[in-house]
Chain A
């Protein structure tokens, strides 16, 4: 069990390492082969050929934040459902009903957000 676990995760570490090596290698090769001639015009931020107006790092609408907030909450709820999904077949009706009430509570939250028009984009 432990052996299999360590074997599996050493694979993950090695895949991360190989990915990293690949990115480093292609960037180095490109650095050696590609020209490097920076100029003032080239380094302008792209704005359809015009001189950029204003500061791009501006303020954005709060609706993005609200969606992120909802996402985190529902994400936590989904995470609770995974261990349940793995075992509930052997656990009988009690586990099913517990999760059913959990899902009903999630659904209540979703319906509330819907009714309050938070899920509306425009």
Chain B
């Protein structure tokens, strides 16, 4: 049963991913991106990582895709279709993609994954919280600094954007 669900979710994710890169309508591409992210959230659920699935939906499907849609509104697309994205150098792009795919799958198969996860253990928020503040204190504090840096970057973009554009709504 779980295997069947996994293959359904994997199929949804893959198809949505293919639509995402091949659609020449940016809005549709963003929405299939959302679908792919939801498929991944489903796979997280199958791995008993419910909190990760929630984060995936909240931050990626909810937050990041809203950001992408707003970025789309910043451009001036004719009916959402951007031909300029369709770059003529297809052959080098294809070769790069194949090489990258090969490298990634090679390293995935080579890597020694820690397969000692007890199947009876659900990754509840309690487990995550305990390990976050017991074993991963330093990474956590570094994350806060990185987020602050990103925030300052966002503010700088905002200040620049305000100078550049006239008010139009």
A65 lies within 8 A of B140 (CB):
no
B133 lies within 8 A of A2 (CB):
no
* Given A65-B74, A76-B59; A91-B144 close (CB under 8 Å): no
Number of A-B contacts (CB under 8 A): 162
**CA of A85 to CA of B126 in the docked complex: distance in angstroms?**
9
Of B59, B140, B145, B167, which contacts A61 at CB under 8 A? Answer: B167
> Is B78 close to A, CB under 8 A?
yes
* Given A58-B76, A112-B152; A65-B70 close (CB under 8 Å): yes
> Is A98 close to B, CB under 8 A?
yes
> Is B135 close to A, CB under 8 A?
no
Chain B at the A interface: SS class = helix
> Footprint of A on B, CB under 8 Å?
45, 48, 50-51, 55, 58-59, 62-64, 66-67, 70-71, 73-80, 119-122, 125-126, 128-130, 132-134, 137, 140-141, 143-145, 147-148, 150-152, 154-155, 157-159, 161-162, 164-165, 167-169
> Footprint of B on A, CB under 8 Å?
1-2, 5, 9, 55, 57-66, 68-73, 75-77, 79-80, 82-88, 91, 94-95, 98, 101-102, 105-106, 108-109, 112-113, 116-118, 122
